[in-house]
A = this chain, B = another copy of it.
Amino acid sequence: MAEQSPLLVVTAHPGDFVWRAGGALAQAACRGQRAVIACLSFGERGESAAAWRAGKTLEEIKDVRRAEAETAAEILGGEVHFFDAGDYPLRETPELLTSLVELYREVQPGVVLTHAPEDPYNMDHPEAGRIARHARVLAQAPGVVGTGDVIGAPPVFCFEPHQPEVSGFVPDVLLDITEVWERKVAAMQAMGAQGHLVEYYTDLGKRRGVQAKRNSGPNLGLPVNTFAEAYHRVYPQVTSELS
C-alpha cells in the first residue's frame, strides 16, 4: 500500500515544511512511514529578519534555524536533511541537483511534496519546487550517474503558498490532518524565528478543514472540528475508485 513507501518533502526554507506540510509529515510518521525532509537552505537571509536586525552573524542565524528545524522535525516525526544551498536567491547548481537525486534514490519515496510553481512574494519557493520536480525526473533515469537505484514515478503534490489566491494556487486536494493536528501545532510553536505565523496557520488549518467537510461526499464522516492542509496535484491521480 502507498503508505508503506516514504514521504519526501522538499522545501526552500525550514519553516515551509512546518507551515505547509507539517500535517502530512506527522500523519505519515504516525502511520509508520518514513518521513524525510530535504531543506535546501536555512532561510538564513530571507526568513530571518529579526535575527539580522538583532545583529546576529550569518553562522549564528543558520545555527538557530537549523536547531528550530530539527526540533520541529522531531516533533513531527520526520528526519531532516540540510543542503545549505543558500537562499535569497536560491539557485540551481549541478551539485545541488546531484545531491538531491541521490536523496531521491536513497529514500525511494512513494509521495513527494514541494512548492508550487508561482509565488510573487518569494522567488526561492518556485525555484525550490522546480528543482525538486526536476531532480525527481533525473532520479528515474539509469543514465544519470549517482549511487542508489533509480526511482519509479511517485506522485507529486504542491503545498499551499502563503497568499494562495494571488499565487495562482488552486487547491485540488484537501488532506484531513485532524488526527495529528496537535502535533502540527506543537511543531509550529517551535519555529521561534517566525512565531507570528502560528495564529495565521492555525486559522488556515481550521478553514481548510471546514472546506474539507463542505466538499466531502456523504461517506467520509469527517468530525465537526476537522483540520486540513491544501495541496495541488502535479500529475494525474491514478486510482481504482472514484471518491
Identify the A interface with B (CB < 8 A).
1-5, 7, 24, 27, 44-46, 48-49, 51-53, 61, 88-89, 97, 108, 110-111, 113, 120-123, 133-134, 137-138, 141-144, 151-155, 157, 163-166, 169-176, 200, 203, 207, 210-212, 214-220, 222, 228, 230-231, 233-243
Contact = CB atoms under 8 A, between A and B. Distances in A.
B165 A110 contact: no
A51 B110 CA distance: 26
A74 to B, nearest CB: 22
Contacts of A169: 165
Nearest to A150: B49
A155 B217 contact: yes
A51 B142 CA distance: 9
Contacts of A200: 210
A218 B137 contact: no
Contacts of A48: 143
A241 B89 contact: no
Chain multiplicity (copies):
6
A-B pairs with lowest CB-CB distance, top 3 = A45-B143, A2-B243, A52-B142
Contact of A172 (B27, B164, B220, B237): B237
Contacts of A203: 203, 207
Given A4-B219, A111-B217, 18 more contacts: A2-B220, A45-B144, A46-B141, A49-B142, A89-B138, A110-B243, A113-B242, A120-B235, A121-B137, A123-B133, A123-B134, A153-B214, A155-B216, A165-B171, A172-B172, A175-B242, A176-B240, A220-B238
A143 B45 CA distance: 4
A113 B219 CA distance: 17
A234 to B, nearest CB: 6
Nearest to A46: B141
Contacts of A3: 241, 243
A101 to B, nearest CB: 10
Contacts of A153: 214-218
B174 A239 contact: yes
Nearest to A108: B218
A3 B27 CA distance: 24
Contacts of A219: 1-2, 4-5, 110
9 contacts: A2-B241, A3-B241, A51-B143, A89-B138, A120-B234, A153-B216, A175-B241, A176-B238, A212-B238
